[in-house]
Amino acid sequence: MHQNNIDAKEVIQQIVEGIQDKKGKGIVVVDMLKLGNSICDYFVICQGNSPTQVSAITDSIEDTVRNNCKKKPYSIDGLRNSQWVAMDYGDILVHIFLPDVRKFYDIEHLWADATLTEIPDLD
């Protein structure tokens, strides 16, 4: 299957499952399609409670998307200290934060016109 044929919504679903599998919290999907000149179509933002959990969430997303969508990230940045990891899937950027770093940057509110979808935490 050619990776461009994979629906972005399916990739996002697999990203969310990868996050939830490692108990990631505060998942928000930012839909930027209506904005036009944005750097990507979607952001998926979440948080882990420790650098170890942030790293585990990153690995889980990578494995889940690769296994179910046959898609690998173009790059992964931030694993050295795992306070803010960014994963680039082309049209989808994934951000995994520590809670205080996420609050500081507040990137889900930088694009006021974007559509935010909050995914309920799994307990």
Classify residue 6 by its DSSP letter.
S
Q: Is residue 58, in this structure, part of any structural domain at all?
A: yes
Q: Is residue 110 part of a domain?
A: no
Asked if 108 contacts 45 with a C-beta cutoff of 8 angstroms, the reply is yes
Distance CA 49, CA 16 (A): 17
d(CA 123, CA 109): 25
pLDDT given for residue 2 in this prediction:
36
55 pLDDT higher than 50? yes
CATH assignment of the domain containing 60: 3.30.460.10
Q: State pLDDT tens for residues 79-119.
A: 999 999 999 999 999 999 999 999 999 998 888 789 999 99
Q: Strand 115-119's sheet: what is its strand order? A: 75-77, 84-88, 92-97, 42-47, 25-31, 115-119
**Residue 122: inside a domain:** no
